[in-house]
């Protein structure tokens, strides 16, 4: 999923406005929680079949880019 536009959606009527994968009710934070707990991407995708592998990878790539853009460089 090269186009990051439309990847994440937030609506006050869906999970109180928490950012979710577009087209789903799965919070982005759930992916991060799974990975933080040591679970694999496949385990996350098995538990949330409405999220595609492409969506999950695109979110991780977006997070990586945001973190890299905020890194302190000498």
CATH of the domain at 17: 1.10.10.10
Q: Rounded distance, CA 9 to CA 55, Å?
A: 12
Tokens of 25: 């009710």
The pLDDT value recorded for residue 4 is 60
Q: Which residues contact 41 (CB under 8 A, 6 or more apart)?
A: 35, 53, 56, 57
Does residue 14 lie in a domain region?
Answer: yes
Does residue 2 lie in a domain region?
Answer: no
The pLDDT value recorded for residue 1 is 39
Strand partners, 9: 20
Does residue 47 lie in a domain region?
Answer: yes
| CA nearest to 26, candidates 42, 15, 37 | 15
Q: How many domains is the chain built from?
A: 1
Question: What tens digit of pLDDT does each residue of 2-47 get?
Answer: 446 689 999 999 999 999 999 999 999 999 999 999 999 999 999 9
The pLDDT value recorded for residue 55 is 97
Does residue 30 lie in a domain region?
Answer: yes
Does residue 3 lie in a domain region?
Answer: no
Question: What tens digit of pLDDT does each residue of 43-74 get?
Answer: 999 999 999 999 999 999 999 999 998 888 76
The pLDDT value recorded for residue 12 is 95
Does residue 50 lie in a domain region?
Answer: yes
Domain containing residue 14: 8-69
């Amino acid at each position: 999923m090269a186009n990051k536009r439309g990847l994440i959606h937030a609506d006050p009527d869906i999970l109180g406005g928490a950012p979710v994968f577009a087209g789903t009710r799965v919070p982005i934070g759930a992916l991060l929680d799974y990975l933080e707990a040591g679970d694999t991407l496949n385990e996350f995708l098995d538990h949330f079949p409405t999220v595609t592998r492409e969506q999950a990878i695109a979110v991780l790539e977006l997070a990586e880019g945001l973190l890299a853009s905020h890194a302190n460089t000498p």
